[in-house]
Amino acid sequence: MHEKIKNDLKEAMRAKDELRLSVLRMLSSAIHNREIEKKTKTGNAALTEEEVIAVVRSEIKKRRDAAEGFTKGGRNDAAGKELAELKILEAYLPAELSDEEVEKAVKEVIACMGEITTKEFGKVMGETMKRLKGQAGGDRVSNAVKRGLQ
């Protein structure tokens, strides 16, 4: 994935696509920062595919939050730019599961755990996130778990 980002960065330079270029530079920088962070903690700088996807998700979340803030502040031009950047970043995520598939996974986890209460939300959430590993966002899984525990 990191190689694909580097190659797309070069293509954006050649095509003089300023928005795409700035987004990919930012993403490449965020990945590089995460590599440095990992190297200081573990001594190994190479990021796994899941870790790169986590960086992309983090950047998408930042863009979504910024766009929401700009919209609330009446700055639709800045919100539009953030949403355009978000669309570029979303192209680097693997396809996500549908809501029905997430609900099915939650039901399977609840069935495996036996009788549970709403107080055990964290356990169900943790196990479901382990099973889905990057195939669905945490907010979607959280909503599905809440519905499953009712």
pLDDT at 68: 94
pLDDT at 67: 94
Q: Are residues 10 and 69 in the same domain?
A: yes
Q: Are residues 7 and 38 in the same domain?
A: yes
pLDDT at 89: 93
Q: In this predicted model, which residue has the larger pLDDT, 34 or 110?
A: 34
Supply the CATH number for residue 142's domain. 1.10.10
Q: In this predicted model, which residue has the larger pLDDT, 46 or 36?
A: 36
What's the total number of domains in the chain?
2
Supply the CATH number for residue 18's domain. 1.10.1510.10
Question: What domain range includes position 16?
Answer: 2-90
Per the structure block, which two tokens stand in for 73?
Answer: 């502040």
